[in-house]
Amino acid sequence: MDSIELSPKVTAIYQAIVRLFMEGADLNNLTVAEITARAGIGKGTAYEYFSNKEEMIAGALFYEMKRVCQNLCEQIKQQKDLHGKINFILMNMEEHIANTNCVFRSFHVMMGNSAVSSRLKEMVSKKQEDEILIPDIIRIIIEEEMENAKELTEEDKAYLMMMVFSKIICFALYQISAKKELNLESSTMRELICRNINSEIEHFKIDKTEV
């Protein structure tokens, strides 16, 4: 809805960066010349819309993260149970490995110390309520699942989120690096993780209701 407002030049720059990123470019060595050439605009034009290179790159990553997560979130809503939702996320990661890669690598960028990292962290910390990123998706899934269980403390929520998050990272690691070295089918891996999350949450529910 808000992306309609984006100037076509800004969109071109964002798309250029995202594509270069997906093609494996190193963000720290991306040049403005490369970006604008790929975007099909003049070098100076980029500076009509951004105050510096970092702003362009961080902006592009933030925009892409929001776009992908928005889509993901809408599709997840159509899944009925926890297993289905998690499975959907993992399948999505698998099918659109390029996207996954981009989101995963954006997350990776955020953990770094570069100027782009700082800017991206700032953008994320100042994001609007209605802008959805990975942690929000996980939070929503958990909250829906736990509706009937006894009230969760903040700590419980935090633990569950990290639990789910770690499994997702686990699958991402598998997709990106371990897949080649392993003879484990993707579907098997997916199934393992889904069941695992499911059972952990069930255990959690029981613990909570018992108490």
Q: Interface residues with a second copy (CB under 8 A)?
A: 24-29, 105, 108, 111-115, 117, 154-155, 158-159, 162-163, 165-167, 169-170, 173-174, 176, 178, 181-184, 188-189, 192, 196, 199-200, 203
Size of the site for DNA (CB under 7 A): 18
Cα angle 92-98-101, degrees, rounded to a multiple of 5: 85
Residue 9 interacts with DNA (CB under 7 A): yes or no:
yes
Given the complex with DNA, which of 57 and 102 has the nearer CB atom? 57
Name the minimum Å distance from CB 31 to DNA: 3
Q: Which of residues 31-50 bind DNA (CB under 7 A)?
A: 31-33, 41-45, 47-49
Given the complex with DNA, which of 61 and 90 has the nearer CB atom? 61
| Relative orientation angle of helices 134-145 and 154-173, to the nearest 10 degrees | 120
Q: What is the largest CA-CA distance in the chain?
A: 65
Q: What are the tokens at 168? A: 């997702």
Q: Token pair 């790159």 is at which residue?
A: 57
Name the minimum Å distance from CB 120 to DNA: 16
Residue 6 interacts with DNA (CB under 7 A): yes or no:
no
Q: Which of residues 120-179 bind DNA (CB under 7 A)?
A: none
Name the minimum Å distance from CB 160 to a second copy: 10
| DSSP conformational letter for 39 | H
**Contact indicator for 131, 122 with CB cutoff of 8 Å:** no
DSSP states along 145-189? HTTTSSPPPHHHHHHHHHHHHHHHHHHHHIIIIIHHH----HHHH
